[in-house]
Amino acid sequence: MVLHLSPASPAASTAQAPSAVLRPGHPFSRSELECMRLDGLLVNVYGSGFALPWDQITPRHRAAAAFFSLPEQVRRKVVLGRLTAAWVYGCAPEPEKLSVLLDHRHRAISQGRYRPAMIHEVTLGPLDTVTIGGVPVSTPLRTALDVALHAPEQDAVRVLSALAGSKGLDCQLDVIRQAIEARPRLPGKARALQRIGAAMSAGP
């Protein structure tokens, strides 16, 4: 589904980890980073991404750590989405496995033997993504739409409430509800509307 709700963003080809995110090979090895974590000199953000213990972990840190945990051939084409995007925004728990979105116009990609992510082939409009520190992430509204339609039952309402109540995200669930209601044939429509209604009733 294409939902044109947020400003367009630059391409992600220039994505770079924030200077406060350390990852293997820049300049320390993974084992050296792990040793520093065990000594209390670093904290793990996600996967192979680390930060200094006194840093305030921000969406930039989480986006970079997740993005650079993906194989290079995967990260060139995907957008962090669904519950992974909600986690980047600080509105969901750390994902056990990353969820990424692949625009259906791209060729299918292989993760090889190591499969750190669930790849969902979707339709992405030019206004469905933003970049956070150079990393492509689905917008808060697109994230809320996907959570309402696809998230596990135990997570959906809680995450929707968190997205709607987070200052600065401007995630208006009523806009999502109207977009879903306007689609006559949409798998999961009734359940998504029920989840949005529950989140709106719960309030901030």
Check the CA dihedral 68-70-76-78 and report its sign.
negative
Highest mean pLDDT among 8-12, 61-65, 107-111: 61-65
- The helix (run of H) or strand (run of E) holding residue 132 is strand 129-132
* pLDDT score for 173: 93
Beta bridge partners of 118: 99
**pLDDT tens digits along 162-178:** 999 998 999 999 999 99
Q: For residue 165, what are the contacts with CB-CB under 8 A and spacing of at least 6?
A: 203, 204
Structure-token pair, residue 52: 């200094």
**pLDDT tens digits along 47-80:** 989 999 998 999 999 999 999 898 888 888 899 9
Which among 122, 165, 119 is positioned nearest to 144, based on CA atoms? 165
Instruction: Identify the burial level of 61 via C-beta atoms within 10 angstroms of its C-beta, where 0-12 means exposed, 13-18 middle and 19 or more buried.
Output: buried
Pairwise CA distance, residues 32 & 22, whole Å: 11
Pairwise CA distance, residues 199 & 167, whole Å: 16
- Strands 98-103 and 117-122, sheet pairing: parallel
Question: What letter represents residue 118's amino acid?
Answer: M
Pairwise CA distance, residues 135 & 15, whole Å: 5
